Amino acid sequence: MASRKKIRRSTKQKRGGISTTHILIVAGVAVLVVGLLVVLNANRSQTTVTDLVYETGVTPDGEPYKGSPDAALQLVEYSDFLCGHCGNFADALDNLSPDYIETGKLQVVFRNYAFLAPESLQAAQAVECALDQGADKFWLYHDLLFANRGTGMGVYSKPRLKAYARDVGLDTQAFGECLDSGAKLAEIQADKAEGESQGVEATPTWFIDGQMVRGGRPESELRQILDGLLSQAP
């Protein structure tokens, strides 16, 4: 009891403690710090994809396509999302889109060939889950996955894949359940087996009018190949 009195006395006798001014200064600094955090946070650029401007759909054997089914040329690509060349090839096709895909000259069909690492399998399952919600959603999701390639380890981890699903406007609940269930695994393995039966060994491998081409090609070379084939088309 005596010591408590002593404590109170010492409290009353203190000099030079904190004042309202101190509190206002600290509150001001706190507001500045939070402001700085908000600015730094809001400045983070988000990799986004633009709206689709081409026709999309699903082939009779269930593979997603973009471009007209009546196009003069059909390109079937086998791809792995962890493969850098596949991403570059997808970029090249994107750049050619206004001249070939959107004009009805070329139809691009996508097939998974997930073989590089466990995350390849996860990304492949994720795009199949996106396809369940529509071919347009598939292509938006496909573009976002490739746009985020090379952004570090875990780029196709399940939490990231779910976040991308939200970014492209998928039903995240249905998507998450699909991804977690592993329901698409058999389909991915069947896609890979189908590719192997056609001679695919690595990615990207693509077929243009039934002719197999191994490895990606730069945009200029692709343009030459497409123009050459189109000039021969009836």
Partner 1 sequence: MSENARDTTLHIPHRIDWRLWLMRLLSLAGIGVSAYLTWTHLAHQSVACGQSQDCDIVQQSVYSEVAGIPVALLGLIAYAVLFVLTLLRGRVPDPWGDYVPLAIFGISLIGVLYSAYLTYLELFVIHAICRWCVSSAVIITAIFLLSLPDLRAEVDAA
Binding site for partner 1 (CB under 8 A): 3-4, 6-12, 14-20, 22-23, 26-27, 29-31, 33-34, 37-38, 40-41, 44-46, 153-154, 157-160, 162-163, 166, 172-173, 175-176
Distance of closest approach, residue 104 Cβ to partner 1, in angstroms: 36
- The residue among 93 and 121 lying less far from partner 1, judged by its C-beta, is 121
Distance of closest approach, residue 115 Cβ to partner 1, in angstroms: 21
Distance of closest approach, residue 49 Cβ to partner 1, in angstroms: 14
- The residue among 25 and 190 lying less far from partner 1, judged by its C-beta, is 25
**β-pair partners for 64:** 58
- The residue among 114 and 129 lying less far from partner 1, judged by its C-beta, is 129
Distance of closest approach, residue 22 Cβ to partner 1, in angstroms: 6
Distance of closest approach, residue 20 Cβ to partner 1, in angstroms: 6
Distance of closest approach, residue 113 Cβ to partner 1, in angstroms: 24
Instruction: Please list the alpha-helical segments (H only) found in the chain.
Output: 2-12, 20-42, 84-100, 118-131, 135-147, 158-167, 172-181, 185-197, 219-232
What crossing angle do the helices spanning 135-147 and 84-100 adopt, rounded to 10°?
Answer: 130
Residue 143 near residue 103 (C-beta atoms within 8 A): no
The C-alpha atoms of residue 163 and residue 159 are separated, in whole angstroms, by: 6
- The residue among 12 and 61 lying less far from partner 1, judged by its C-beta, is 12
DSSP letter, residue 114: -
Buried b vs exposed e over 187-222: b needs ≥16 C-beta within 10 Å? ebeebbebbeeeebebbbbbbbeeeeeeebbeeeeb
- The residue among 1 and 193 lying less far from partner 1, judged by its C-beta, is 1
Strand order in the sheet with 211-214: 56-58, 64-66, 106-112, 73-79, 205-208, 211-214
**β-pair partners for 36:** none
- The residue among 15 and 211 lying less far from partner 1, judged by its C-beta, is 15
